[in-house]
Structure 1
Amino acid sequence: YIGDTARMYAKTPDMKALLQAVQKVGGVVELERGTNDRSRWVVTLHTPTKPAVTYLYSRQSGRLEKFYEPRPWLAPYRFAEMKPISYVARDGLPLSGYVTLPPGRTPRALPLVLLVHGGPWGDRDKWEFQSDVQLLANRGYAVLQVNYRGTTGLGKRFARAAKKEFGRAMHTDLLDGVAYLAHRGFIDTTRVAIMGGSYGGYATLVGLTFTPDKFACAVDYAGTSNLVTLLESFPPSWRPFLPRSWYPFVGDPRNPADRADMLARSPLLRADSARSPLLIFQGANDPRVTKRQADQIALALNRRHIPVTYLLASNEGHGFGESETALAVNRATEQFLGKCLGGRVQPSVAPNVIAALNAMLVRVDTIRVK
């Protein structure tokens, strides 16, 4: 079980000494490796305001020695603080998450990006440095991250509360988080965007189509638009695991009642309700959420004259690993949100980033879905 931050408790004197040394530096502890006699440890410390730093700890000296610091050129910059929050969902379930506010801005009536993590199983938002969060805060946005029901690390009961709640209580958990910030005056409710990848992409499309009055725009990374075709597209090697995972939590498309329910929770079938612009990122080689999912929703919204910007990375899968692709994604995101929410946009970027963006752009009216 992990609350707002991971906490470690010592059960032996040598581990107590290690934790005391760590506390002098500060951060959430991740024990990487230790010697058999536990006299030396490799320890990584996480904080939201700088990339995680790895140290070597010696029991003999009782000190931490810096071993590896990624991206040291970021040291002079000021990054936004991430604050844990907690609130109660409309059905009484306790929820938690994080809010990151833009540095130097008064926390009143800010534009908000609701950033939804993937999974939901095997994933959660954490109190740690996240480049996408810092980019958004730097551009002037408050960022809300919710560990909605189904999130890993908050107990079995919390995980099981997500059964058949895709597009239902899992979505209202997010809306209740936005309401929590609105009630405190932090955000301007007319300038709220929803954004996320994988499950977070599905949640983004749900926000766009199920609650269109709540979001001024949406940014979808590899999001599912049709739950039935998602499960039917899974490779044969996944089939033995579905009865223990996807079927109880999402539904079994072979069962007529489940199939109807899954379609009812699919954004594609609610495309008529959408009113706000959508930015889509999709990997052409994604085996989990296939290109068809993005094609379907892009085409459906375009036919209804909803503005859609569709960027397809020909060399990427489920998540973008190429640095040039990542820079292009950041550029497209800041431009899209700047137009929608009014945040800051960098005046110019390198020519290779512009070239990558142009190569990814899909003309939606040319899409053909079989």
Structure 2
Amino acid sequence: MNFKLVRRTLLCAFSVLAWALALPPHAGAQPASRPPIEAFFQNPAFAGGEMSPTGAHVALLVASKTTGRIQLVVVDTAKFTAKAIASYTDGDINSVHWISDKRLVYSVYDFKAGIGERANYVSPGLFAVDFDGTGDKQLARLDWGMERSVGDRQLMDPTTRFVAATNNVNSDDIFVTQARFSDTTHELEALTLYRLNTRTGIASPYNRPGKSTAWYMDAKDVPRATVTEEAGRGAVYYLDPEKNQWTKLVEYDAVTGEDRMTPIGFAPDGSLFVRQQRGAAGTSALYQYDFKARAVDPAPVVGVAGHDFRGQLLSDGKRLLGIRYVSDAEATAWFDPELKQLQATIDKALPGAVNRLDVPDRAETPVVLVQSFSDANPGTYYIYNRQTGKFTELGQVMPGIDAKQMGQRDFVRYKARDGLDIPAWLTLPPGAKGRKLPLVVLVHGGPYIGASSWEWKAESQFLATRGYAVLEPDFRGTRGYGMRHFRAGWKQWGLAMQHDLADGARWAVDKGIAEPSRICIAGASYGGYATLMGLVNDPDLYRCGVEWAGVTDIDLMYSVTWSDFGSEFKTYGMPVLVGDREKDAEQLKATSPLLQASRIKQPLLMAYGGADRRVPIVHGVRFRDAVQKTNPAVEWIEYTDEGHGWLNPKTRVDFWSRVEKFLDKNIGAKP
């Protein structure tokens, strides 16, 4: 696929900016009682923004009014004029970063195609352009074909990814990584760091102490720390400024994360901040690393009881301004008094929402960019003027979504049968009082992924607007709640992890939220596996199941060689987290949905992508053929060009319209 760059100038008074950039008008008319399905599963109309270093401009990713493609637009924050500086007829700009007050870098992706339709386009590439639309340059290739020359230089390969800009305000350089993959298994081996000039295309590599997977630069633009992983072991290395040699700070188990120390970043004064686990529950917090003692400080900088630290440092290149972190919701701990007061002012003006501030690094204007979002609002972007106290709305992420029509999403906890505390998210239909509702237990994939947070989620809100209560358990094994919660899920596929889901459904029944005769289980990937095992283990609890891209047999995860499960994970990860293929063979058989297919009698909806390499379609085909021998109520959907999840909006709309009909038929929602 060859993206065709289309540049056009949009200079306009801000009073007509919303029209020029195809931004939604402010809500006025009364909404319909049920938002259409397309409103939930279309691509965002507004995909993000970033302030320039001085705040003179803001870069926005906005859907074109004519093509629907995401384009790069720069807005003057004083005059409120806008200019579209990069746009493609067959692709979308999916990320943008300022590297100076004059220059930006961006990447491109096709948000309207499934993974199978991208056979000739497997990389987002890398491009640079000045804020006025001049000086554009392609830096990395989009595909894996023959290398293409630009003048007397070659483009960087398709694995090139942006890492960071420099702290030099006059520099056109950036830091990028280039991936090296195994010739035999095609899995990632290492990331090499380069310093790349965005005008000349000249790139200079840095030496690494091993198979680096992450890099961290200090305020002087020196790659000061790197993380390596090899043979199931991880390590953090530090480039000693006196000896100019890499020194190993810590080594740990890369699979389980025990004894892990993860760099978060360097403060402008050179201090290194890291995430590390402490205490009986093993929850992690943010600490400062003491280089003299070669140890982490005893007192945390930021920690939230019951939650692992997830966050980032916020600085202006001279000072550490604050820490942005996520517990059950996102928050910012500002160290700067003025910014702390500014956050309080904006929170008061925009209540009931998370208000993320993007503050210029070297502010020369009184404006900040505000992204405001909640469980009911996918996101609205504003420019806030600190001098006048005025907000100027730039656009809404999903303009077809009206917050008044959405359900309420709350963080809850319940006890599993063995006493373990299970965190979960409960979304109720708009206006519902939570009594005797049809319930969908929606199971996340992974399963060893990070915990969810308080934000708008298309799938759960769609189901809520159709009259369903939605329970999303963060069952044992889910990361984000400490090592104890994570470790409790080891080798518990189909066992205690499964019990956590059933216990959540019964909790909802006991609380009067769910009608016991109208409960369905649903999920993708691991969630698909859990759906099938839920129908096997608890036939009296679940009346139906919906699974897509689901694992149907653990042994297939080992044996299917064309999946993208790497040999490292199969060798070091799966035997510990899922089960050893030989030592735990009987357990894996007993918890295989494929081998238990004849026990499933409930209605079942299955969907798979023909181009899925994470859970190849053989999982679905074998299970479909087995279950249909004894169960006539099985619906099968195959999306030929989709991978592990639905990338094409048309696929998402089609799939969820089928889910809606399936659920209404089997557990009878009454909106």
Per the normalisation by structure 2, the TM-score is 0.48
Deviation at 1:334, TM superposition (A): 0.8
Is structure 2 residue 564 aligned with structure 1 residue 240?
no
Q: Which residue, 218, 225, 230 being the options, matches 2:552?
A: 225
Matches of 1:231 and 1:29 in 2, distance apart?
Answer: 44
Alignment match, 1:311: 637
Alignment match, 1:180: 507
Is structure 2 residue 348 aligned with structure 1 residue 36?
no
Alignment match, 1:301: 627
Is structure 2 residue 348 aligned with structure 1 residue 20?
no
Is structure 2 residue 432 aligned with structure 1 residue 108?
no
Matches of 1:67 and 1:244 in 2, distance apart?
Answer: 48
Matches of 1:183 and 1:136 in 2, distance apart?
Answer: 21
State how 1:1-370 maps to structure 2 within 5 Å.
Answer: 1=308, 2-24=326-348, 25-26=350-351, 27-30=353-356, 34-37=359-362, 41-56=368-383, 65-75=392-402, 78-233=405-560, 235=563, 238-253=566-581, 256-343=582-669
CA distance change for structure 1 residues 51 and 227 in 2, over 3 Å: closer, same or farther?
same
Percentage of pairs with the same residue: 33
**Matched residue type, 1:261:** Q
CA distance change for structure 1 residues 186 and 75 in 2, over 3 Å: closer, same or farther?
closer
CA distance change for structure 1 residues 76 and 35 in 2, over 3 Å: closer, same or farther?
closer
Deviation at 1:58, TM superposition (A): 5.6
Matches of 1:150 and 1:62 in 2, distance apart?
Answer: 46
Deviation at 1:342, TM superposition (A): 0.9
Deviates more, 1:96-105 or 1:140-149: 96-105
Structure 2 residues not aligned, in runs of 5+:
1-307, 309-325
**Matched residue type, 1:162:** G
- Could you tell me whether the CA contact under 8 Å between 2:439 and 2:468 is conserved in 1? yes
Higher RCO (CA-CA < 8 Å; seq separation 6+) = 1
Alignment match, 1:351: none
CA distance change for structure 1 residues 93 and 29 in 2, over 3 Å: closer, same or farther?
farther
Matches of 1:60 and 1:165 in 2, distance apart?
Answer: 56
**Matched residue type, 1:10:** W
SS at match of 1:331: helix
**Matched residue type, 2:623:** I
Deviates more, 1:185-194 or 1:244-253: 244-253
- Could you tell me whether the CA contact under 8 Å between 2:509 and 2:515 is conserved in 1? yes
- Could you tell me whether the CA contact under 8 Å between 1:115 and 1:143 is conserved in 2? yes
Matches of 1:57 and 1:282 in 2, distance apart?
Answer: 45
CA distance change for structure 1 residues 251 and 34 in 2, over 3 Å: closer, same or farther?
farther
**Matched residue type, 1:157:** R
RMSD: 2.4
Higher helix share: 1
CA distance change for structure 1 residues 165 and 15 in 2, over 3 Å: closer, same or farther?
farther
- Could you tell me whether the CA contact under 8 Å between 2:407 and 2:461 is conserved in 1? yes
Deviation at 1:11, TM superposition (A): 2.4
Cα deviation, 1:34-57, whole Å, max 9, x if unaligned, reads 432378654433311121223345
CA distance change for structure 1 residues 237 and 167 in 2, over 3 Å: closer, same or farther?
closer
SS at match of 1:206: helix
**Matched residue type, 1:274:** I
Structure 1 residues not aligned, in runs of 5+:
346-370
Matches of 2:565 and 2:535 in 1, distance apart?
Answer: 33
- Could you tell me whether the CA contact under 8 Å between 1:195 and 1:204 is conserved in 2? yes
Deviation at 1:73, TM superposition (A): 3.5
Structure with bigger gyration radius: 2
SS at match of 1:193: strand
Cα deviation, 1:252-282, whole Å, max 9, x if unaligned, reads 32xx222332222211111222120100111
Cα deviation, 1:31-84, whole Å, max 9, x if unaligned, reads 6x5432378654433311121223345666666543331222433752111122
Higher strand share: 2
Deviation at 1:244, TM superposition (A): 4.3
Deviation at 1:183, TM superposition (A): 0.9
Matches of 1:30 and 1:269 in 2, distance apart?
Answer: 48
Q: How many residues align?
A: 342
